[in-house]
Amino acid sequence: MRDQELKVQTTCPYCGVGCGVDISGTPDDVAPVAGMKTHPANFGRLCVKGSALHNTLGPDDRLLHPTLNGSQTSWDVALNLVADKIRQVISTHGPDAVAFYGSGQLLTEDYYVANKLMKGFIGSANMDTNSRLCMASAVASYKRSIGSDTVPGCYEDLEQADLLVLTGSNAAWAHPILFQRMTAAKKARPEMKVVVIDPRKTATCDLADLHLPIKPGSDTTLFNALLTYLHQQDALDNEFIANCSENIEAALEAASGAARDFAELAAITDVPEQDLETFFTWFKDTPKTVSFYSQGVNQSVDGTDKANSIVNLHLATGRIGKPGACPFSITGQPNAMGGREVGGLANQLAAHMDFSPADRDRVRRFWNSPAVAEKPGLKAVDLFSEVKSGKIKFLWVMSTNPLVSMPDADDVKEAMKHCELVVVSDCMANTDTTAAAHVLLPAASWGEKNGTVTNSERRISRQRGFLPSPGEARPDWWIISQVAQRMGYEEEFSYDHPSQIFDEHARLSSFENNGSRDFDLSGLVGMSQDQYDALAPIQWPVNEEYPEGRARFYDDGRFYTASQKAKFIPVLAEAPVRKGSTSSDTLNMNTGRVRDHWHTMTRTAKAAVLARHIAEPYADFHPEDAMRLGIRDNKLVRIFNDRGQIVVRAQVRTDQAQRKGEVFVPMHWTSRYASQARMGALINKDNDPISGQPALKMSDVQAEAYPTQWEGFLLTARDLGPLDTDYWVYNVTDSAHMYEISGQSDPVEFMASVRNKFAANKWLMFSDPANLHYRLCLIEDDKLQAVLFVHKEYDFSSRQWLIDTFAQDELSMQDRRAILAGRPLGKQEDKGAIICSCFQVGENSIKEAIAGGCGSAEELGKSLKCGTNCGSCIPELKSLIAKYQPAEAVE
């Protein structure tokens, strides 16, 4: 079986674009993956993360066996223990003392079974998910205004729009294939306008005709002012408003207080008047407008209101349900949408039903369940607070890492200690959250799982397994069903294959639906296993009216509210309240993604090709803030507040990418990959009172230089785990494990701690204590085992030759001398930071090519190949051209 030829079509496990992926090779040697040409999300393209999927399939760090308090146990023991504990907690403390916390990484079938167990059989709705952190505000706003959690449009709308307004979205890095589709559309129709609304100048601004770097929190004011302006300019769609909506007067009234004129709006938003006028004029004059928004809108204390202020604009101008016109919320996770379909959020039931008596009764009869939850459960922030308070006695975390991603992450860590039993089912063994669990259950990973996911345009795609699971790892749906069966629900959870679960899910969606609910898969009911296996990507609903799926909702002017009319939501724009110390030294911390990593890096950190774009956690500063605070570019900085601290590398942005008084920190690094970079520890628990979504983009912090005595790096043949120094960051390379290191204490002690990690002790060493220069290496059987360089001031950007030396079978005397001298034999190319991950093209090579006459991304592509595969680096290539182009070329 291991040499069987693979020909499998599956779906990328990362972002909400949901690209199709072609798998070939053999299970023992999976070939480089390719984009699926027939998949309507990506038509053959993959971004850099997707392109590296085959590099992430190794067994390193996998959780292979069930464990109980750190000791391996059998599935039987572990499952019985979990089932018994849930039963005991229910009988002693009631069903609300049990909680599940899931993930947008779960497949729809996994999610369905978890939700069914919790809400239909345990009898509580305490099942929430990390999707709460991602798009709960967008969900709440859709439900308030259009009556259902329905993304109205499709990806083609992004290409057909004449005006694209991207708000709080760095699509170039977070949703790269959609960004490429937008880029191609603009290239084909240069008259298409793109506006980016974002406090930061991100890679997405490369596509923008207009960038509005607004003051964080002023977006509702901006959109309310725009609504007022459209009203004053008589630019509303009065026919649509009259026939298909209600409550416009209240929305206009609420919006009217946003700003008296452009001057006042400019003062509130920090955007020049002229740019505001340009944006408003474009919006007024462009019927085919798509508003594309993401975490910058959702992750806020008023995220639901913000999203509704956007939806209001589209309702007021009738720009919904038409080609190239809709309010388009884009989800971060691969199956956030699938989770919403099955009721994965604590305030949903299942199949887009709520907790009304009719919905509860319908679901109870369908499931034949003994105890359907009576009311919504605890949303993520409240859920973990109740874990800490001791009210929740049993917690099951599925495929996610809340000890990193939740706000006030150290408090979540503390909360775990207060819970009688913490179960974590995950494919990875070493996460911050697995370290806090009593019971670990090994779950199947991407490449092994079989089921469906739904992307941001409501398109259901199959994720197909093509590898056997290592050790005793099993699919999540199997694990949850086994626990349910052991709780006494054998018949209700007697699934043998995910196709049976999907069929039940589809049947529930159509059960007593009769057009009353948007989510309807009646056209997919009754599929055989073969049909399920062959299911082609399709957008829901799939029913008698739309047997091939439906691209756009609301083209008929009928909404899912009681009156069937869309409802304007009056939204008051209020400046965000800054809590705690707001001295002149206080900075507002914003968080987000980098291009080549995904979430808490459990998968992307396995691909050496992805580690070289941004190798260390960092913080972006405005030059004036950096100067005021004594922070130097490329040096370490401590960012802190009452809740915690992180130590990361400072980037002083002289390119006007970072607003003054604010700092940007990426979200990805965990205790597995860095000594002190869990940014969640700094974020307070403030959240939107309607959606419960935490305000992950606004935390008060302070920053100061983090002086160290020495800096350096460590390369090793094996993974050493955490190191004994203040600052370390771990990355894999092609042939060695690599640590960036620095410390405040005696480097000799640190070097001893490294040496103690190896049994052999024949270290070669160059030492110059007076200048704090140390270079050590360990060679065993003529093979390099470790290299450790410690210098007072560290500047050793070119170390690829050392990494390559780890691949050598035998080290010559000259090699050994070169290592201790700290210089390669002969001249070695220093590529600098990798910009194009696909072809490993570094900044120094690009700089040289620009000096040699390359003046466009295309010319760089012809010369170096950079940007010619996935295209994710093209915005960075353009900014490097702007940075390095000779002055005469610019003139």
In the numeric block, which tokens belong to residue 328? Answer: 């388009």
Q: Is the Cβ of residue 294 or residue 845 nearer to ligand SF4 in the bound state?
A: 294
Query: Which range, of 46-54, 114-122, 611-619, 630-638, touches ligand SF4 by CB under 6 A?
Result: 46-54
Antiparallel, parallel or unpaired: β 710-716 and 783-791 = antiparallel
Judged by CB under 6 A, the stretch of 40-48, 61-69, 160-168, 485-493 that binds ligand SF4 is 40-48
Task: Give dist(CA 603, CA 54) in Å, integer.
Answer: 11
Minimum distance from CB of 598 to ligand SF4 (Å)?
A: 7
Which residues, in sequence order, are CB contacts of 692 under 8 Å at separation 6+? 132, 136, 346, 347, 379, 380, 381, 382
Task: State which residue, 15 or 850, has the beta carbon closest to ligand SF4.
Answer: 15
For residue 32, which of 51, 19, 14 has the smallest C-alpha distance? 51
Q: Least Å distance between CB 318 and ligand SF4? A: 31
- CA dist 591 to 33, 347, 625, 707, 767, Å? 30, 26, 18, 24, 41
Residue 643 is classified by DSSP as S
Q: Which stretch binds ligand SF4 (CB under 6 A): 17-25, 74-82, 227-235, 700-708?
A: 17-25
Instruction: State which residue, 743 or 867, has the beta carbon closest to ligand SF4.
Output: 867
Q: Minimum CB separation from ligand SF4 for residue 160, in Å?
A: 20
Contacts of ligand SF4 in 47-106 (CB under 6 A): 47, 49-50
Give the shortest CB-13-to-ligand SF4 separation in angstroms. Answer: 7
861 in helix, strand or coil? helix
- For residues 460 and 474, the answer to whether their CB atoms sit within 8 Å is no
Q: Nearer to ligand SF4 by C-beta: 425 or 456?
A: 456
Q: Is 605 in the site for ligand SF4 (CB under 6 A)?
A: no
In the complex with ligand SF4, which residue's Cβ is closer, 19 or 732? Answer: 19
Site string (124-163) toward ligand SF4, x via CB under 6 A = ----------------------------------------
Q: Is 39 in the site for ligand SF4 (CB under 6 A)?
A: no
Nearer to ligand SF4, 15 or 589 (CB): 15
| Single-letter residue type at 521 | L
Q: Which two tokens stand for residue 33?
A: 């993956």
CA distances from 160 to 45, 153, 188, 292, 604 (A): 19, 11, 11, 13, 33
Cα–Cα dist 568/800, whole Å: 58
315 binds ligand SF4 (CB under 6 A): no
d(CA 439, CA 597): 28
Spatial contact of 859 and 874, defined as CB atoms under 8 Å apart: no
Q: Which of 15, 248, 467, 538 binds ligand SF4 (CB under 6 A)?
A: 15
- Long-range own/partner contacts, residues 621-625 (CB < 8 A, 24 or more apart): 621/650, 621/651, 621/652, 621/653, 621/658, 621/663, 621/703, 622/652, 622/653, 622/658, 622/659, 622/660, 622/661, 622/662, 623/652, 623/653, 623/654, 624/660, 625/587, 625/660, 625/661, 625/663, 625/703
Choice from 23, 30, 36, 46 touching ligand SF4 (CB under 6 A): 46
- Only one of the segments 12-20, 262-270, 351-359, 792-800 lies at the binding site for ligand SF4 (rule: CB under 6 A); that segment is 12-20
301 binds ligand SF4 (CB under 6 A): no
Q: Using CB under 6 A, which of 17, 164, 205, 415 touches ligand SF4?
A: 17
Nearer to ligand SF4, 318 or 875 (CB): 875
Q: By the 8 A CB rule, do 202 and 210 touch? A: no
Regarding 14 and contact with ligand SF4 (CB under 6 A), the answer is yes
Q: Minimum distance between the CB of residue 631 and ligand SF4, rounded to whole angstroms?
A: 32
Q: Which CB sits closer to ligand SF4, 14 or 554?
A: 14
- Taking the complex as a whole, how short is the minimal distance between the CB of residue 375 and ligand SF4, in angstroms? 36
Residues in Cβ contact with 299 at an 8 Å cutoff, skipping those fewer than 6 apart? 133, 137, 693, 694, 695, 696, 697
The residue count for binding ligand SF4 (CB under 6 A) is 14
Which residue's CB atom is positioned nearest to ligand SF4? 50
Specify the residue, 218 or 335, whose C-beta has the smaller distance to ligand SF4. Answer: 335
Nearest Cα to 133, choosing from 4, 248, 303? Answer: 303
Closer by beta carbon to ligand SF4, 166 or else 566: 166
CB of 871 to ligand SF4, least distance (A): 11
Nearer to ligand SF4, 34 or 371 (CB): 34
Smallest separation, CB 203 to ligand SF4 (Å): 14
**Is-contact 765 820, C-beta < 8 A?**
yes
Q: Is 18 in the site for ligand SF4 (CB under 6 A)?
A: yes
Q: Which is nearer to ligand SF4, 83 or 601 (CB)?
A: 601
Interface with ligand SF4 by CB under 6 A: which range of 15-23, 371-379, 762-770, 796-804? 15-23
Residues 6 or more apart in contact with residue 421 via CB below 8 angstroms: 82, 85, 393, 394, 395, 438, 439
Token duo for residue 724: 């004994």
Nearer to ligand SF4, 50 or 680 (CB): 50
**19 binding ligand SF4? (CB under 6 A):** yes
Considering the complex, state which of residue 101 and residue 179 has its C-beta at the smaller distance from ligand SF4.
179
Asked whether the beta carbons of 221 and 306 are under 8 A apart, the reply is: no
Stretch that binds ligand SF4, among 41-49, 132-140, 235-243, 309-317 (CB under 6 A): 41-49
Environment class of 680 (CB within 10 Å of its CB; exposed 0-12, middle 13-18, buried 19+): buried
Rank residues 193 and 599 by Cβ distance to ligand SF4 and give the closer one. 599
Let me know how many helices (H) and strands (E) the chain has, helices first: 31, 35
Residue among 17 and 834 whose Cβ is closer to ligand SF4: 17
Write down the least CB distance from residue 464 to ligand SF4, Å. Answer: 15
Residue 650 binding ligand SF4, by CB under 6 A: no
In contact, 226 and 285? CB cutoff 8 Å:
no
Shortest Cβ 108–ligand SF4 spacing (Å): 16
Q: Is residue 12 near ligand SF4 by the rule CB under 6 A? A: yes
Sheet holding 289-293, edge to edge: 210-212, 193-197, 163-167, 289-293, 326-329
CB of 48 to ligand SF4, least distance (A): 7
Rounded least distance, CB 614 to ligand SF4, Å: 16
Smallest gap, in angstroms, from Cβ of residue 334 to ligand SF4? 7
Residue count (the chain): 891
Q: Which range touches ligand SF4 (CB under 6 A), out of 14-22, 111-119, 198-206, 726-734?
A: 14-22
Residues between 166 and 185 with contacts to ligand SF4, criterion CB under 6 A: 175-177
Assess contact for 733 and 840: CB atoms under 8 A: no
Which CB sits closer to ligand SF4, 47 or 248?
47
- Side chain identity at 835, as an amino acid letter? I
Query: What does the radius of gyration of the chain's CA atoms come to, in whole angstroms?
Result: 27
Binding footprint of ligand SF4 on the chain (CB under 6 A): 12, 14-15, 17-19, 42, 46-47, 49-50, 175-177
